Amino acid sequence: MIARRRTRAVLPLAVIAFAASPAANDWPQFRGPNGSGVAATAAAPPTTWNIEKTTSIGWQAPIAGLAHSSPIVWGDRIYLTTAVSAQANPSIVTGDVNKGGVASAADAGSYTWRLIAIDKNTGKVAWDVAAHQGVPRMKRHVKASHASATPATNGRVIVALMGSEGLFCFDMSGAQKWRTDFGVMDVGLVDDPALQWGPASSPVILDDMVLVQNDRHKESFLAAYDINTGKERWRSSHDEYPSWATPAVIRTAGRVQIVTNSGKHIRGFDPGTGKELWRLSDNNTQVKVPTPIASGDTVIVTGGYPPGGRPIYSIPTGGSGELSAQSLNWKTDRGAPYTTTPIVYDGVLYAITDNGILSAYDPASGTRIYQERVAAGSGFSASPVAAKGRLYLSSEDGDVFVVEAGRAYRLLATNRMAEPIMATPAVSGNSIFIRTLTKLVAIR
């Protein structure tokens, strides 16, 4: 049994019982409301700040361990995960993957996986719980972490996928409700399973279910778990390459469906039964990381590693069975990010590639509006977020570029955070919360 540490009183039960509908300022999962990356209309985080002079800096909270998971927000609390090594602090290799190659990280020994709640207004730790302790079941990539999946909440519970150590569910005071173990998430180089890279797909809450995409070398699946008990509701098994993409819940006038981005196929599923509704063959690329995103009655899907290029697909959501290339709304042969998830904001589709090139497209036709290099340097792993007519692009070098949204490129500001950023920021009200390599920073 792992000891749990608390430093502040928990939320009143009345608040827990009734806080089940997201408010405008909540950011409840990876990339916020509906996974869109777009903040509420009234949200207005700053355009410029200075971390050295603490200009527009609300607070800075040190976070132990190494994690690329993003912060989430519900009410007055921020929640995030981390993996703390019992040995020396592990390091990561930033920049082009060729710098680190396809190698697994050499660090070993025991880790402690933690879930932390932080007061949104003060930056003080409300509670900090150790969920699991032990030697990781599999290795991580030199650029990855053992806590790369972002948690999710519905205001009643918090779910966290802590790598191959399992799917955990906590109440809003940090007490563990259940844990589901579905084995080793054996993901890594397709052609050499001995090279392990570690998982990163984040859980998604849909009504009273938790959705998990587990694409691995063998026995891949998409599954739904009961949010109250952790019991499996349904499982859709399929043959797939390892992938790191988070499943997306796509809501259109016709239906609600779950869309997954995998190496062999892009698929749509019925959320009630897990039945596959449609699939699009995508055998030209591997190593899928970006999450599918909604755009009207279509879904935009990107990503993958060459040699097949990096296409962008616009897929109608009303299809069934095996989709053909002719059934697509449009497709580009290249231009998709390898790691980051694109964003649709105010009628424009934006995609930032890993090497810092920002492209804007008409989401209806696929016509490219502009293409500009935002920055050179190590690259981009964090996905863009948007608020108040602005895009926030966070680089591995620790710079946050603020770009005006619209059909013409205009860089408004470059804000230096002084250390690498791998996690996607969260926006809540007039604040943007940015996780750097060692801390969480509130900017407002």
Cα dihedral sign, 263-264-267-273: negative
Q: Are 80 and 157 within 8 A, CB to CB?
A: no
Structural domain containing residue 206: 5-443
Residues with Cβ within 8 Å of 106's Cβ and at least 6 positions away in sequence, in order, are none
Instruction: State residue 20's pLDDT score.
Output: 55
Mean pLDDT, rounded, for 250-264: 92
Provide the pLDDT confidence category of residue 9 given band limits of 50, 70 and 90.
Answer: very low
Which candidate, 178, 289, 162, 283, places its Cα nearest to that of 226?
178
Question: Which tens digits make up the pLDDT trace of 402-431?
Answer: 999 999 999 999 999 999 999 999 999 999
C-alpha span between 43 and 3 (Å, rounded): 38
Provide the pLDDT confidence category of residue 10 given band limits of 50, 70 and 90.
Answer: very low
The rounded percent of the chain whose pLDDT value lies above 70 is 93
Q: Are 287 and 244 within 8 A, CB to CB?
A: yes
Higher pLDDT, residue 16 or 318: 318
Provide the pLDDT confidence category of residue 300 given band limits of 50, 70 and 90.
Answer: very high
Question: Which tens digits make up the pLDDT trace of 226-243?
Answer: 999 999 999 999 999 999
Q: Is 430 exposed, middle or buried (0-12, 13-18, 19+ CB in 10 A)?
A: middle
- CATH no. for residue 149? 2.130.10.10
Q: What is the pTM of this model?
A: 0.93
First-to-final CA distance of the chain: 39
Residue 229 CA: distances (Å) to CA of 177, 178, 285 = 8, 7, 37
Q: Are 100 and 142 within 8 A, CB to CB?
A: yes
DSSP string computed for 118-184: EETTT--EEEEEEEEEE--SS--BTT--S--SPPEE-SSEEEEE-GGG-EEEEETTS-EEEEE----
Domain count across the chain: 1
